[in-house]
Structure 1
Amino acid sequence: MNTHCPRTWVSTAIQIIEADFNRSSDTHLLRVPMPAVPGVELYLKDESTHPSGSLKHRLARSLFLYGLCNGWIGPETTIIEASSGSTAVSEAYFARMLGLRFIAVMPRSTSAEKIAQIAFYGGESHFVDSPAEMYAESARLAEDLGGHYMDQFTYAERATDWRGNNNIAESIFSQMSHEEHPVPSWIVVGAGTGGTSATLGRYIRYRRLPTKLCLADPEASVFHRHLADRAVCTVSEPPSLIEGIGRPRCEPSFVPELIDRAFAVPDAASIAAARVLSRRIGRSCGGSTGTNLWAVAQIIGEMVQNGERGSVVTLLCDSGERYRSTHFDDAWLKSRGIDIGPAEQVMERFFETGTLSVA
C-alpha cells in the first residue's frame, strides 16, 4: 500500500476518472413487454452499456476514487483484486487509464471471455482453485509486491455515495419518475460484494420510499441462508456457476438488515431465464441477470395473484457475450450435467401468463 502519494499525481488521477465519468451517459432503463399482466410493469436497468461492460464499472470507479482519496494508491502502486471476473475487467479499465499495473486473482472457472477482456485492458490474471482462496492470495500478492489490495468485498458498501451523486439508486428513481408507477413496488438485485444492495437499501430509506428490496441469490450462496439464520455465515458446498453474485462467506459489505426478502435460485433456472430474456428483448444477458429475473417472476406472480398494480425494477448486469463459452454453450452445460430445458419452459410460461409455476 502506497502511503506517500504525490498530491499532484493523485489530483490528476481523480481528474482523469471524473472526465471519464462525464464522457459516459447514464445507462438505459428498459421496459420489458408484459402483455399478460397489464397492471404490472417490469423494467431492466441495463448496466451492460458501461464502458467496461457491466454493473461493476460503477463499483470500480468508486473503489479507485476511495483508494486515491485515502492515500492508498500512488503512481507506482500495483493494484490487486479478488474477483470472479467483471469487477476485474472494470478495474483493469481504470488501472490502464491511470497507467497502473493490475492483477486479478480469480477462480480458474472464470469464463474465457472475461479473462480476455482483462488482458485487453492490460491486466494480468492470477488463478486460484476455488473462490474461497481469492482473499488470502490477493492479500499475499499485495504484501509481496508492495501493492494495494482493493478488496471490493470489504469496501464496496462504504466507497459508494449512497445518498446521491448519480449512484445507481438515484439513477433508477430519476428515470422512473415519468412512468405509470414511478415508485417501484420492488427492486430485485443479486449480491456479490453486497455493495449494490446496500446502496439501494440505504437510498430507499434515506428518501423515505415504500419500495421493497429483494435479493436474488444462487442456491449455493450463503447470503439467503444468512438472512434466514444470522448464525450461518459460510457454506462449504461447491460454488455456483453464476459469476459475480453469491458467495461462500458473508462479505463485510453485505448488509442483511436492508433486504426485505430473498429467493434462492438454482443455476439451471438462472441460465434458462437469461436465455429466455435474451430472446425476448433482443439483447444478450448474462447469468446473474437470469437469477434476478427468476426472483422477479415470483414477485410479479404474487402481485398478480393478490390483484396488485405497480412496477418492478431489476438489473441487466452484463452481456451474455461474456458467457458464450459457458452459459450459452449447450456442450458446456451438458458436460456439467445441467438440463435447462424444464426451467426455460417455466420462464416462457411466465411471460405468457404472468405466473411462475415451479414444481
Structure 2
Amino acid sequence: MHAAWTRRAIQTLEAEAHRSADTHLIRLDLPAFPGIPLYLKDESVHPTGSLKHRLARSLFLYAICNGWLEEGRPVVEASSGSTAISEAYFARLLGLPFFAVMPRSTSRDKVAQIEFFGGHCHFIDDTDVYGAAQRLAGELNGHYMDQFTYAERATDWRGNNNIAESIFRQMQREPDPDPRWIVVPAGTGGTSATIGRYIRYRCGEHGLVRLAVVDPEHSVFYDYYRSRDASLQLSRGSRIEGIGRPRVEPSFMPGVIDRMMRVPDAASIAALRLLETLLGRRCGGSTGTNLVGALQLMAELNASGERGPVVTLICDGGDRYSDTYYDEAWIARENLDLSGELARLTVVVNEGRWID
C-alpha cells in the first residue's frame, strides 16, 4: 500500500513538472552599460507565483523518497511566505493536510494564498517558528518539512532542470552565453547552493561565471560569510520578505559563493520603483535587492572596461506586497527614505557608474 502511494505521488509531482513550461529569461539592455546586458530569470510565472515553487517540489520529492511521507500524513512547515504557499499547493496535489507555522503578524494576503491552496495557518506569538513547527508535527504525527535544513540537499544541483541548468541552457543562444555574474539572494540558502555548486561542477564549460549573493538588513548571512561564526543571531527578522535570516541556516553554503553584498532596505525598495519603469510591472522586495547588487556589479564591469552579461532573478511578483513595499503609509512607518536611494539608482542606470 505504501509503495503504491509513493509511486503515485512521484508520478503526480513529475507530471506537474512536465506541465510547467520553463520560466522566462528577460533581457534588459541599458544604454549606459554597452555590452553588459542584464538578464532577469522570471520565477514569478510558476503556478504558485515564486521561486519557491521549485524548492517545494524538490522538498516533497526528497521527503517521499526518504520514506518520511506517506498517504494522509500531515505536512508542517515553518514559513509565512512563498515557501508555505508553494508547499500548500503541492500538499493539495498529493491529498495531504498542510500546516504553516507563522507569526501572528503575518499579512492577510499571504494567509489568504496559503488557505486558497487548502493550507492551514498555525499562528504563534513569539519568533521561534522552528520549535513551534517541530512541536506541531509531533502533535499531529506529521512530517516537519524543515526547508532551512534541507533546501541545499533536496535539489539535484548537478542538473535535472534545476534553476542553474535552466539559466545556462537559455543563455546558450545569446551573443555571450556565459554570465560574468549571477546574482541571487539568500533565504534558506538553497538557491545559492544549487547555482554555486553547478558553476563549479561545470567549471570547464562556464569558467568565467561567478556567483554573488545579496543580503538585506537584519540578516546574519553577510557577517557569517566574512566571519564563519555560525553562532550569529539577531533579535528581529528582515523587512525584505523571503530573504535574510536572523540566524545562520544549515542550508547556507558560504564556500560556493564568490562575493557577498549587503544591500540597504531602502535601496531594495527604491529599486522596485526603478524596475517598474524599466519593465512596466511590479516585483517583490527580494527582486529589488537583486537589482541593486546586479547594478553595482555591472557598474564595476563598466569601469574596468569588461563586457559580458549579468543574470539575476525576479523571485516573485509585486501583488503580494500591496500593503508593504507599495504602500506609502507602511514605508513611512518603517522610516525608510526612498527618494535619495531612487535618485542614486537612477543616476547609476542613466550614467553607468556606481555611486555609494
Identify whether the pair has TM-score above 0.5, normalized to the shorter chain.
Answer: yes
The equivalent of 1:327 in structure 2 is 325
Matches within 5 A, 1:151-170: 151-170=146-165
1:38-57 to 2 correspondence within 5 Å? 38-57=34-53
Q: Residue type of the partner of 1:44? A: L
What residue is the counterpart of 2:84 in the other structure?
Answer: 88
Distance in 2, matches of 1:355 and 1:190, equals: 23
Say yes or no: does 1:59 pair with 2:55: yes
The within-5 A match list for 1:201-280 is 201-208=196-203, 209-210=206-207, 211-231=209-229, 233-280=231-278
Shift of 1:127: 2.4
Aligned mates of 1:332, 1:64 — CA distance in 2: 35
Query: Counterpart of 2:135?
Result: 140
Deviation at 1:129, TM superposition (A): 4.1
How many angstroms does 1:355 deviate by? 2.2
CA distance in 2, matches of 1:107, 1:274: 26
Deviations 1:252-282 (A, max 9, x none): 1111001111111111111111221122101
Once the two structures are TM-superposed, the CA of residue 235 in structure 1 deviates from its matched residue by: 2.5
1:124 and 2:108 matched = no
C-alpha distance 228-183 of structure 1, shift in aligned 2 (>3 A): same
The runs of 5 or more residues in structure 2 that have no matched partner are none
In 2, Cα distance between the equivalents of 1:188 and 1:129? 34
Q: CA deviation at 1:237?
A: 4.1
The residue type paired with residue 184 of structure 1 is P
Native 8 Å contact 1:84 1:243 kept in 2:
no
Stretches of 4+ aligned residues off by more than 3 angstroms: 108-111
Distance 2:317 2:308 in 1: 27
Q: Secondary structure at the match of 2:128?
A: helix
Distance change (3 Å), C-alpha of 1:233 and 1:302 = farther
Give the TM-score normalised by structure 2: 0.96
The equivalent residue for 1:298 is 296
**Following the alignment from structure 2 to structure 1, what is the Cα–Cα distance between the partners of residues 125 and 165?**
38
Cα-to-partner distance string for 1:145-195 (whole Å, 9 max, x where unaligned): 100000000001110001110000000000011112200000000011111
Q: Letter of the aligned partner of 2:29 in structure 1?
A: P
SS class of match (1:178)? coil
Distance 2:102 2:235 in 1: 18
**Would the aligned equivalents of 1:111 and 1:326 in 2 still touch at CA under 8 Å?**
no
Question: Aligned letter for 1:304?
Answer: N
1:250 is displaced (CA, Å) by 1.0
Q: Is the 8 A contact 2:43 2:316 kept in 1?
A: yes
Secondary structure, counterpart of 2:306 in structure 1:
coil
Q: Which one of the candidate residues 5, 19, 24 is aligned to 1:23?
A: 19
Contact 2:58 2:154 in 1 (8 A): yes
Q: Tell me the distance in 1 between the aligned counterparts of 2:26 and 2:281.
A: 11
Supply the distance in 2 between the matched residues of 1:8 and 1:225 (Cα, whole angstroms): 47
Which residue does 1:183 correspond to in 2? 178
- CA 1:232–1:153 in structure 2 vs 1: closer, same or farther (change >3 Å)? closer
> Equivalent residue for 1:310?
308
Cα offset for 1:233? Answer: 3.4
CA contact under 8 A between 1:297 and 1:350: conserved in structure 2? Answer: yes
2:104 to 97, 101, 108: 108
Tell me the equivalent position of 2:284: 286
Q: Aligned partners of 1:17, 1:355: CA distance in 2, in Å?
A: 46
Alignment deviations for residues 67-101 of structure 1 (CA, whole Å, 9 cap, x no partner)? 11111111111110011400000000001111111
Q: Describe the superposition over 1:190-225 as per-residue Cα deviations: whole angstroms up to 9, x where unpaired.
A: 011111000000100000122110010012111100
Cα deviation, 1:285-304, whole Å, max 9, x if unaligned, reads: 10000011111111111111
Q: State which drifts further: 113-122 or 159-168.
A: 113-122
Amino acid of the structure 1 residue aligned with 2:43: E
Report percent identity of matched pairs: 58
Report the aligned-residue RMSD.
Answer: 1.3
Match for 2:165: what amino acid? E
How far apart are the structure 2 equivalents of 1:16 and 1:331?
44
User: What secondary structure sits across from 1:40 in the alignment?
Assistant: coil
SS in 2 for 1:310: coil
Give the C-alpha shift of residue 340 in structure 1: 1.3
- In the aligned structure 2, how far is the partner of 1:232 from the partner of 1:12? 40
TM-score by length of 1: 0.96
Conserved in 2, the CA contact under 8 Å of 1:110 and 1:243? no
CA contact (8 A) 1:111 1:322 kept: no
Specify the alignment match of 1:194 in structure 2.
189
- 1:13 deviates by 1.0
- Partner Cα separation in structure 2 for residue 191 and residue 35 of structure 1: 30
